[in-house]
Amino acid sequence: MLRWIILTLSFWLLALPAAARQSLPLDTGNTEISLVSDYDTVSPGQSFTVALRMKFDGSWYTYWRNPGDSGEPVRLVWDLPEGVTAGPIQWPAPKIKTVGPIVSYAMGGDVWLPVEIKVDADVDSSRPIILKAQAYFLVCDELCVPENGGLSMPMGVGVSTLNADHAALIEQAESKVPQRGKLSGSAQSDGEVLTIDIQGTGKVETLFPHDNTILVHSNPVVIRQASKGARFTATPNYGWDDNETPASFDATVLLEDGTAQIVSVATDQSVDIGRVSGPKAQSASSLGFWGAVFGAFLGGLVLNLMPCVFPIISLKALSLAKTAHGERRAIRQAGWAYTAGVLISFAAFALLLIGLKAAGASVGWGFQLQSPWLVGLLSLLLFTIGLNLLGVFEFGGRLQNVGSGVVNGNGPVSSFMTGVLAVIVATPCTAPFMAGAVGYALTSSAVISLAVFLSLGLGFALPFLLLAYAPGLLARLPKPGPWMETFRQFLAFPMFAAAIWLAWVLSLQTGANGVAKLLLGGLMLTFALWLFRKGGGLTKVFGVLALIAAIALSISAKSSHSAGSSTALISSAWSAEAVAMARAENRPVFVDFTAAWCVTCKVNEQLVLKSKKTAELFERTDTKFFIADWTNKNDVIAAELARFGRAGVPLYLVYKPGAAEADVLPQTLSYSVLKDALE
């Protein structure tokens, strides 16, 4: 009887209808998965395709072969009969998923992942084969849940029989899998900037490295089209550290027409991509030329009110106060000289930006203050101007026309140099209306960029130019007298404030060593000024040497990449026993159920948990911080999540002293939520 049942079952399996050649769908919670074959029956020695089909509910999604900043790729573990082998997953191009600062590469909706299956020629054709696979994957939306499921699909072996319906669907899925084409690529990293050049026809839209360690996904990736390809500028990831540089790596390149190709990128050679154009900017086309020009003009007007500009603008105010009751021709001449200094400086700044971008550099508004040496020199310059305004020293001799002309003079040279200095100091600030205009300028042609920056300069200079032609307003100013000396000395303090601000910027760029060099430079500068006041030929020689030493110390400051505002909280590994002990001490307890692959967790970590305010809050409230890391499977953590009705992370708990149960915080954290829960 048993033999008859087995024989009947075998014939039934061999006679399965074409429409049934797929596994039974499995609902894992937020996803339905199944195996689908393009053949009902295969012959020995044949290769065919089986696809893992994943149908995601709503906005749930899973991760590509390179998940990006967070996540884990889909995995298939096959259990196949002898003589049957499975190839790797064939991946379609992903979509970029951004959650806060976290950038991931995701797949959602109806996802098909084809896999080639090969049957050896000596496989026994008298019995069916059963293909078994265990799928492991993450599904994420507001939270991330690891899911898995076992799938099984019988296949007849004999005369090859195509399933036309399934074959059409799988062929459509395979058409979305990028193949190697005529593209070639090269990549170089200097430790701070990673440059990837792709040579070939077609406008390149996006690049997805297959290896997660190539670039930092959350940092901006600038795309520049070239006459023979495209250039990607990004931040190198740890795969480029020391001797870890790969000889080559593969990447999926998405083209403008919607197609994708796989390209091999070499790291030991270069490819010729021709002339490189400006960076791609999604918002540029929506603004328009006249909108950018008008926005730049308005931004220049408002820029006069920004804090970083006030110290230099105050010099011009002092000059106006001195000349308000003087000859009208001289006042207007000074106004035009100031305007010329501003416009020429903005034009020079624009041309420098255009040249650097054409050479492939990644620069933008205020880029010059990314150089620690210039920050140090500007800090010393403003400090020197402050000392001069206080009357600690006066420029003498031949330096009178230059030095005093910059800070005290009333003539065209003074006004021109004040305009130049105002532009240099103004560039760290971004006024309203400026961001879009500057962004448009930096992605347009050289002529358009120059026009936008000149419009910005005109708006910046216009208030003082109009004042020069407004005798009624100037007449309202008090006449020169003793008050002017007091006003002059008062203006020294904004200069010192600006110098302190620049010193703070330098501390973020270089750390304590850079600030120490700046302070030593200030010491040598004041020593040089003291020597100049003493007079005498030899004394002045030593003064010049001291001044050179001050400048050398300032420009010797180097960037250190330890700058940042985030703070690592002191934490302990979670366990129920550890939490109980902390609660017994009558302390607040915060528990972070997290995982390295959880996008929301990483966003909350970067924006809230690593902030200085949060560290101070935890210290002030004496809160004990525990991390329950669910990156790897942990049944104890899973049980604790289930106890709070959760199937995935993140989960944030606050145990208040004396409370019987924990308060469950929202999955999207904010500092105010933490503060309300702990205080």
Q: What's the CATH code of the domain at 23?
A: 2.60.40.1250
Domain assignment present for residue 267? The answer is yes
Q: Which position has the higher pLDDT, 597 or 273?
A: 273
Mean pLDDT of 468-480: 63
Domain assignment present for residue 34? The answer is yes
Residue 628 has a CB neighbour count (10 Å cut-off) of: 22
Local confidence band at 398 (pLDDT 50, 70, 90 cut-offs): very low
According to the model, what pLDDT value does residue 8 have? 43
Q: pTM for this one?
A: 0.53
**Residue at which a domain ends, from 424, 456, 491:** 491
Give yes or no: residues 161 and 206 share one domain: no
Q: Which position has the higher pLDDT, 191 or 505?
A: 191
Mean pLDDT of 49-72: 92
Which two structure tokens, joined as six digits, stand for 354? 């255009």
Q: How far is CA 150 from CA 33, 156, 166, in A?
A: 9, 20, 21
According to the model, what pLDDT value does residue 20 have? 46
Q: Please check the confidence at residue 637 and state whether its pLDDT lies above 90.
A: no
> Which secondary structure element, helix H or strand E, spans residue 404, and what is its range?
none
Percent of the chain with pLDDT over 70: 76
Give yes or no: residues 270 and 301 share one domain: no
Least confident stretch, 80-94, 170-184, 223-237, 443-457: 443-457
Q: Please check the confidence at residue 96 and state whether its pLDDT lies above 60.
A: yes
The counts of H helices and E strands in the chain are 21, 27
Q: Which contacts qualify for 221-225: CB closer than 8 Å, 24 or more apart?
A: 222/279, 222/280, 222/362, 223/279, 223/280, 224/276, 224/277, 224/278, 224/279, 224/280, 224/360, 225/276, 225/277, 225/280
Decide if 502 contacts 379 (C-beta within 8 A).
yes
Give yes or no: residues 78 and 189 share one domain: no
pLDDT in tens, 143-160: 888 888 999 999 889 999
Q: How far apart are CA 552 and CA 572, in angstroms?
A: 46
Q: Please check the confidence at residue 63 and state whether its pLDDT lies above 70.
A: yes
Local confidence band at 397 (pLDDT 50, 70, 90 cut-offs): very low
How many residues are recorded in the chain? 679
According to the model, what pLDDT value does residue 176 have? 92
According to the model, what pLDDT value does residue 643 have? 80
According to the model, what pLDDT value does residue 85 have? 95
Local confidence band at 14 (pLDDT 50, 70, 90 cut-offs): very low
Decide if 674 contacts 617 (C-beta within 8 A).
yes
DSSP string, 73-128: B-EEEEE--TTEEEEEEPPPP-EEEEETTEEEEEEESEEEEEEEEEE-TTS-TTS-
Q: What is the CATH number of the domain that holds 227?
A: 2.60.40.760
In the chain, the number of structural domains is 4
Mean pLDDT of 381-408: 59
Domain assignment present for residue 362? The answer is yes
Mean pLDDT of 243-269: 86
Least confident stretch, 52-56, 277-281, 401-405, 492-496: 401-405
Give the residue ranges of DSSP H helices in 107-226: 164-175
Taking alpha carbons only, the member of 252, 238, 256 closest to residue 66 is 252
Give yes or no: residues 165 and 184 share one domain: no
Which two structure tokens, joined as six digits, stand for 371? 């150089």
DSSP string, 315-358: HHHHHHHHHTTS-HHHHHHHHHHHHHHHHHHHHHHHHHHHHHHH
Give yes or no: residues 125 and 244 share one domain: no
Least confident stretch, 172-186, 193-207, 296-310, 348-362: 348-362
Mean pLDDT of 91-118: 90
Which two structure tokens, joined as six digits, stand for 132? 């078994």
Q: Please check the confidence at residue 37 and state whether its pLDDT lies above 70.
A: yes
Domain assignment present for residue 120? The answer is yes
Give yes or no: residues 96 and 210 share one domain: no
Least confident stretch, 224-233, 403-412, 662-671: 403-412
Residue 477 has a CB neighbour count (10 Å cut-off) of: 15
According to the model, what pLDDT value does residue 136 have? 92
According to the model, what pLDDT value does residue 4 have? 44
Decide if 117 contacts 49 (C-beta within 8 A).
yes
According to the model, what pLDDT value does residue 65 have? 95
Domain assignment present for residue 634? The answer is yes
Q: Tell me the chain's radius of gyration from C-alpha atoms.
A: 34
Q: How far apart are CA 386 and CA 405, in angstroms?
A: 15
Q: What is the CATH number of the domain that holds 644?
A: 3.40.30.10
Which of 3-7, 475-479, 617-621 has the highest mean predicted lDDT (pLDDT)? 617-621
Give yes or no: residues 147 and 250 share one domain: no
Q: Which position has the higher pLDDT, 598 or 580?
A: 580
Give yes or no: residues 161 and 39 share one domain: yes
Give yes or no: residues 303 and 263 share one domain: no
Mean pLDDT of 623-635: 82
Per the structure, the complete domain to which residue 440 belongs is given by 285-370+407-491
Taking alpha carbons only, the member of 3, 62, 70 closest to residue 29 is 62
Domain assignment present for residue 549? The answer is no
Decide if 108 contacts 56 (C-beta within 8 A).
yes
Return the DSSP state at 22: B
Q: How far apart are CA 431 and CA 433, in angstroms?
A: 6
Cα atoms found within 13 Å of the Cα of residue 483, Cβ hemisphere only: 7
According to the model, what pLDDT value does residue 501 have? 73
Least confident stretch, 30-44, 394-408, 506-520: 394-408
Q: Please check the confidence at residue 107 and state whether its pLDDT lies above 60.
A: yes
DSSP string, 235-298: -B-GGGSGGG--SEEEEEEEETTS-EEEEEEESSS-----SEEEEP-TTHHHH-HHHHHHHHHH
Give the residue ranges of DSSP H helices in 511-575: 512-534, 537-555
**Residue at which a domain ends, from 279, 307, 323:** 279
The mean pLDDT value of the chain amounts to: 78
Give yes or no: residues 253 and 295 share one domain: no
Domain assignment present for residue 127? The answer is yes
Domain assignment present for residue 509? The answer is no
Give yes or no: residues 186 and 169 share one domain: no
Q: How far is CA 219 from CA 96, 102, 193, 215, 410, in A?
A: 13, 9, 11, 9, 47
pLDDT in tens, 321-352: 555 555 677 778 878 888 898 899 888 878 87
**Residue at which a domain ends, from 226, 247, 279:** 279
Mean pLDDT of 363-388: 70
Percent of the chain with pLDDT over 90: 24
Q: Please check the confidence at residue 11 and state whether its pLDDT lies above 60.
A: no
Q: Please check the confidence at residue 356 and state whether its pLDDT lies above 70.
A: no
Give yes or no: residues 591 and 666 share one domain: yes
